[in-house]
Amino acid sequence: MSQIMGQPVTEVVDDDIAAPLLGIDQLGKRFGGFVALDTVDLSVPTGQRLGLIGPNGSGKSTLVNCISGTLQNETGSVRFNGQRVDGMPPHQRARLGLARSFQLPRPFRSMTVAENIRVPLLYTVGARHGVHLTQSELEDRCLEVLSLVALQDKARKSPLDLTQVEMRKLELARAMAAEPKLLIADESMAGLSHSEVEDIVALLIRLNQRGITIIMIEHIMRAVMAFSQRLVVLVSGRKVADGAPEDVIKDKDVVGAYLGT
Amino acid sequence: MRTPLFTLVMLAVAAALYLSFRFVGNDYLFFLGYVVLQYVVIATAWNILGGYCGYVNFGSAGFFAIGVYSTIFFYNIGQAPEEVFPEFLLTPMKWIFPLPLPVLIVLGGVFAGLIGLGMGYLTLRLRGVFFAIATLALAVVLETFIVNWSFVGGSRGAYVIPPENIPVFGPFIQYLFVLMLLLAVASVVAARLIERSRLGIGFATIRDDELAAETSGVPTLRLKLIATVLSGALFGMAGAPFPFYIGYVEPNSAFNLSYAVNAIAMPMIGGTTSWVGPMIGALILSTLQQVVTVTISSAVNLLITGLLLIGFVILAPNGLIGLWHDWTGRRSKS
């Protein structure tokens, strides 16, 4: 087992001192006989940029699905902002401030790009206590969110007319429109060019500077290293490393998992 | 166009239709108009769940029949209240019964809506073809239930004797026609209102991608339940006046598969994503069926539905509305 396991190199470490924004405790998920997640612990403090890596099939997406509610975990617990969220349907978690993007973009195909952004504005932001958005506020916010990802000129287009990178930006924009406290970006850069990857990393860092905690799942190591303040590695459903990125990538378990020992 | 204005326009069209039918003065027009309008309501009802949310309901006939049999039930109570109620309740009940037709329509809507809610809870976790089969099964269960319930006639069927004439409207069929006309206007206005509301946007996200909808904060299960209740209630309301129209109902006619087929075919032929589609589809297809029934034979009319449905699914999957958009789109580009 890794030496740095369980000792995240961050300012906020102890749950007793400051409750983390996201607290995952002994999380387990099986698919039939296959153990996708095996007692995973993870706590993410507010404002952190966390990178989550691991080989294919290591359980990264399952973890994201259990956090966002797309899948329900079988054992362990997920706490978000001091509240237990496991068992909650995804839309309630979204309203609490948990947003995610999907690995393969899943736009609402029959709507325009702007209407795609309206959905979380209406159903997540608009459903929070004491928030009421008028039509003009809605339109302003749509454009504001779209301009963050430089899609404002495509507002009236169908998502099907977008390029791959634009589609991924729309996916992120839709997650951002919900004004989340925690944003989980699930492989939002796969298949993108060098400069497009830099675009999206810069975007995520900008969002983080606005106070949004971000978990980024990624295979592109250049992006991961540029983005992450902390790096967590999953292998076969177990957390094998957790700490400062420079330390983690030198860890022999991690190297072993990726290259074979 | 704003909803109040749109409602006024629709009412004006309806009034013009009624007056022109009266002007012609042939009661057959009212009989024909009733059936066509009934299908406008049915197609619109189906489209709320099938078109807006993308959940294909094959059990439409079941919901329609709930409306039919709710009317039979209350009509039978009205025929012999002394057999149903204890002595002390008899006098007030004789005041209430027989219930007027508009009340029966509302009751039919309430019961069908409630069954819709129950069905939703049981089946909405299923998707695609599984949901379709479950709804079909529900209709079969309901039919079996009605067949074995002798108070509403069981498999023998039940008679409803409408009054021949009614104040203001004259012949009873004209009264029925006006009620169905108002119901059709109400359902089209409601469908249009839903389509443009927050609710309608939520429905569309369910049709497009349910998982993405949930993660965007859309409470998909609740919205689907709302859709089944609304859709079911409209079906029930369309069915409630039917016994008065036809005079004799038995399970085979109330649960007839042709309702389920037409409920799907009409929105498909018109176009499912907007309120216009089911309305146009119902007007065209149902008028055509009526004409064919009279001029050729009643057996041919479902054949026509089938052929048109196949044709549209292959050649114009987005229906007439889709064809129209393609045509105007191409014109504006060239």
Measure A20 CA to nearest chain B CA, in Å: 22
Checking if the pLDDT of A227 tops 80, the result is yes
Q: What's the total number of domains in chain A?
A: 1
A1 has a pLDDT exceeding 50: no
Q: Among partner residues B211, B218, B273, which is closest to A110 by beta-carbon distance?
A: B273
Q: Is residue A54 assigned to a domain? A: yes
Convert the pLDDT of each residue in A131-175 to its tens digit: 788 888 889 999 999 998 889 999 999 999 999 888 999 999 999
Question: How far is it, in rounded angstroms, from Cα B139 to Cα B148?
Answer: 14
Per-residue pLDDT, averaged over B24-46, amounts to 93
Which residues lie across from B200 on neighbouring strands? none
Question: Which of B209, B217, B221 is closest, CB to CB, to A106?
Answer: B209
Q: How far is CA A33 from CA A29, A30, A36, A96, A182, in A?
A: 10, 7, 9, 33, 32
> Considering only CA atoms, which of A183, A213, A178 is closest in space to residue A95?
A178
Residue of B nearest to A124 (CA): B217
Burial of residue B137 (number of CB atoms within 10 Å: 0-12, 13-18, 19+)? middle
- What is the extent of the structural domain holding A28? 22-106+180-259
Whether B163 shows a pLDDT value over 70: the answer reads yes
- The CATH number linked to A188 is 3.40.50.300
Residues of B in contact with A106 (CB under 8 A): 209, 211-212
* B241/B326: higher pLDDT: B241
Distance from CA of A34 to the nearest CA of B (A): 23
Residue A158 lies in a domain: no
Q: Is A174 in Cβ contact with B205 (below 8 Å)? A: no
**Whether the Cβ atoms of residue A22 and residue A42 lie closer than 8 Å to each other:** yes
Subunit contact B217:A94, Cβ cutoff 8 A: yes
What pLDDT band is residue B79 in, cutting at 50, 70 and 90? confident
Please say if the pLDDT value at position A8 is more than 80: no
Chain B residue closest to A122 (CA)?
B198
**Is the Cβ pair B205, A108 closer than 8 Å?**
yes
For residues A76 and A6, the model is more confident at A76
Model confidence at B98, pLDDT cuts 50, 70, 90, reads: confident
Q: How many CB pairs under 8 A join A and B?
A: 82
Comparing A197-206, A218-227, A229-238, B321-330, which segment has the lowest mean pLDDT? Answer: B321-330
* pLDDT bracket for residue A229 (50, 70, 90): very high
Q: Is the pLDDT of residue B57 over 50?
A: yes
pLDDT of residue B202: 95
Give the mutation candidate from B216, B218, B224 for the A interface (greatest A CB count, under 10 A). Answer: B216
Contacts of A109 in chain B (CB under 8 A): 208-209
What percent of chain A has pLDDT above 70?
92
> Residue B332: which pLDDT band, with cuts at 50, 70 and 90?
low
Selecting from A89, A108, A122 the residue whose C-beta is nearest the C-beta of B214 gives: A89
Residue B334 has pLDDT above 70, yes or no: no
Better-predicted residue by pLDDT, B266 or A254: B266
Residue A83, beta-bridge partner list? A80
Mean pLDDT of chain A: 87
The Cβ-side half-sphere exposure at B53, using a 13 Å CA radius, reads: 33
Residue spans of the domains in chain B: they are 3-333
How confident is the model over B112-139, as a mean pLDDT?
A: 88
Decide if A96 touches B, using CB distance below 8 A. Answer: no
Q: Given this model, what pLDDT does residue B330 score?
A: 67
From the candidates A66, A91, A121, which should be mutated to test the interface with B, based on the most B CB atoms within 10 A? Answer: A91
Contacts of B203 (CB under 8 A, 6+ apart): B48, B52, B53, B194, B223, B227
The pLDDT assigned to A88 comes to: 92
Tell me whether residue A114 is in a domain.
no
More confident residue, B90 or B285: B285
The CATH fold of domain B3-333: ABC transporter involved in vitamin B12 uptake, BtuC (1.10.3470)
Residue of A nearest to B211 (CA): A70
Residues A118, A116: Cα–Cα separation, whole Å: 5
Q: Which residues of B touch A (CB under 8 A)?
A: 198, 201-202, 204-205, 207-209, 211-221, 273
In the predicted model, what is the mean pLDDT of chain B? 90
